[in-house]
């Protein structure tokens, strides 16, 4: 664990539990960085700001909207592309991938870490992400760690504590630490409440269910019931 | 050499010679990417656009000004910090370093390469950069190459043809290929003409001199003479 770090911080469950865990362990968190890449679910940035205020962590938003047009069509940024619903399956969820998103986020966070003289960049990718997001794999994180250790005279490294944990285990850890899970935002649609049926909402609901911890999230009134999700093996489509 | 690539393209000599060399070798250049990070020498972006038009290469500018504030104080972006003059010595030129700039540029170019279905990202760091810019070293480029090969299902790699060439060798190669060297822009000050005395101007002049090729650049009227630069071992201060 580093002595000091800046965190790549989405305002979602994984990075919130990571932030809480670092604070618990006495890491000096020099800041949490959210990226505005024109995502539809801008509520995650608001959630990030509120949680940082609660945790006493400096919060910064890096505005990357100027490069969003290069990313091509992604369900997360393109107003004409619909966010896919249903479980995180390869076919539908690939539409939500912003190419090379994690390297962009981590490279910007590394620039910030150098400026803030932090020892590490903390990044909360977890094992459940691997099957669909190549840039959440440990092999990728390990190669990127090597690169960021060489990018400057002052060495910065990539702290990735959850890379071998499941979402269920992250929920268990977050609950144990008293992390503000109810304030975190996951839903890709970014409406008033979590929709309860997009890939990330279903993953969230599944994680609480498997962890046997009550889900504190308010879902939209037309969200499918937990029972119906379980019965259809967590795959839901309208 | 890749079959197709997008280039990280500054509009300076190194990346212009790289672009010309790839076209000469039959590489499909899917585009050249300049980054607007709020640099004072915005003329390099204009130069990049003009040269791409001449070479028939698609040119894009990625607007990263939204994150410039995270970079801290750099002589290249901060209006209150003066661009240092004199030869590329460690002490003065470190002031011009934008932290982790090359990883940010390459990660954004990689996102574009994935979108454009290009095989590689081409990047023109050369051996003379190594002593002052850690992110121009081959060890860094090699680690980053590993990371970008893993960042997506489609493999992209980092083509870095000049990593073991000197600036003199690049000028020789550019001249041989008929690259539009006179249209390239180097000067960090970004005024009407090259100042002839900042680190990158002196490096430029020195490269032509060592290559024994006439320098086609128009320098400002108060630029020191070539003779005076040679006499003081290329180190000039006002």
Contact indicator for B135, B129 with CB cutoff of 8 Å:
no
Q: How many CB atoms lie within 10 A of CB B42?
A: 12
* Residues B127, B132, B138, B144, CA torsion sign: negative
The conformation of residue A123, written as its DSSP 8-state character, comes to: -
- B52: tokens are 């791409």
- Whether A18 is covered by a domain: the verdict is yes
When pLDDT is averaged across residues B122-143 and rounded to a whole number, the result is: 81
Q: What is the pLDDT of residue B189?
A: 84
Nearest to B112 among A70, A140, A151 (CB): A70
Q: Given this model, what pLDDT does residue A91 score?
A: 43
The DSSP code for B42 is T
**pLDDT at residue A236, as a whole number:** 42
CB B114 within 8 A of CB A100: yes
Start-to-end CA distance of chain A, whole Å, equals: 44
Q: What residues have CB less than 8 Å from B43, skipping those under 6 apart?
A: B185, B187, B190
The shortest CB-CB distance from A72 to any of B104, B115, B135 is to B115
Q: B153: domain CATH number?
A: 3.40.50.620
Distance separating alpha carbons of residues A47 and A51, to the nearest angstrom: 6
pLDDT at residue A67, rounded to an integer: 80
User: Is residue A146 in a domain?
Assistant: yes
User: Tell me, what's the pLDDT at A234?
Assistant: 58
Mind listing the pLDDT tens digit for each residue in B208-221?
999 999 999 999 99
* DSSP string for B58-102: -EEEEE-GGGGGGG---TTT-TTSPPPBSS--HHHHGGGPPTTHH
Residue A220 belongs to a domain: no
Residue A180 domain flag:
yes
Kindly state whether residue B205 falls inside one of the protein's structural domains: no
> Which carries the bigger pLDDT value, residue B69 or residue B157?
B157
Span A174-200, mean pLDDT? Answer: 92
B160, A173 in Cβ contact below 8 A?
A: no
- Residues of chain B contacting A108 with CB distance shorter than 8 Å: 67, 70, 100, 104
pLDDT value at A155 more than 90: no
Tell me the residue range of the domain where A79 lies: 4-186
- CA-based nearest residue in chain A for residue B150: A140
pLDDT tens profile B63-118: 888 777 676 545 555 555 555 555 544 444 444 456 888 899 999 999 999 989 99
Least CB–CB distance from A70: residue in B99, B111, B139 = B111
pLDDT band at A189 (very low <50, low <70, confident <90, very high): confident
The answer to whether position A226 is within a domain reads: no
Query: What pLDDT is stored for residue B215 in this prediction?
Result: 96
User: CA-CA distance, B207 to B128, in Å (whole number)?
Assistant: 10
ipTM of the complex: 0.82
Cβ atoms A7, A35 nearer than 8 A: no
Taking CB atoms and an 8 Å limit, are A151 and B140 in contact across chains?
yes
Confidence of residue A95 (pLDDT cuts 50, 70, 90): very low
Contact: A135, B146; criterion CB under 8 Å: no
Residue B148 lies in a domain: yes
Q: Is the dihedral of CA B34, B99, B195, B126 positive or negative?
A: negative
CB A78 within 8 A of CB A51: no
At B91 the pLDDT is 44
A154 touching B, CB under 8 A? no
Residue B207 falls inside a structural domain:
no
Are B60 and A70 contacting, i.e. CB atoms less than 8 angstroms apart?
A: yes
Q: For B5-19, write each residue's pLDDT tens digit.
A: 999 999 999 999 999
Tally of domains in chain A = 1
Tens-digit pLDDT profile for residues B20-64: 999 999 999 999 999 887 776 678 899 999 999 999 999 999 888
> A135-157 burial, b if ≥16 CB within 10 A, otherwise e?
bbbeebbbbbbbbbbbbbeeebb
Check CB contact under 8 Å for A65 and B60.
Answer: no
Q: Are B147 and A134 inside 8 Å of each other by CB?
A: no
**Residues of chain A positioned with their CB less than 8 A from the CB of B65:** 66
């Amino acid at each position: 664990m580093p002595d000091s770090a800046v965190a790549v911080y989405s305002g979602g469950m994984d990075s919130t539990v990571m932030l809480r865990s670092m604070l618990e362990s006495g890491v000096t968190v020099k800041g949490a960085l959210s990226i505005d890449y024109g995502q539809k679910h801008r509520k995650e940035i608001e959630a990030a700001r509120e949680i940082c205020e609660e945790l006493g962590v400096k919060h910064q938003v890096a505005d990357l909207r100027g490069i969003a047009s290069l990313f091509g069509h992604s369900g997360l940024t393109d107003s004409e592309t619909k966010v896919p619903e249903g479980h995180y399956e390869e076919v539908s969820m690939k539409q939500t991938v912003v190419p090379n998103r994690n390297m962009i986020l981590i490279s910007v966070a590394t620039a910030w870490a150098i400026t803030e003289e932090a020892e590490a960049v903390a990044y909360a990718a977890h094992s459940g992400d691997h099957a669909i997001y190549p840039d959440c794999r440990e092999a990728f994180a390990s190669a990127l760690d090597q690169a960021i250790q060489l990018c400057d005279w002052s060495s910065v490294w990539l702290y990735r504590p959850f890379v071998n944990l499941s979402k269920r285990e992250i929920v268990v850890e977050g609950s144990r630490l008293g992390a503000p899970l109810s304030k975190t935002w996951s839903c890709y649609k970014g409406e008033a409440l979590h929709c309860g049926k997009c890939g990330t909402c279903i993953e969230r609901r599944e994680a609480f269910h498997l962890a046997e911890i009550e889900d504190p999230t308010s879902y939209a009134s037309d969200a499918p019931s937990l029972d119906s999700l379980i019965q259809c093996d967590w795959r839901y489509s309208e």
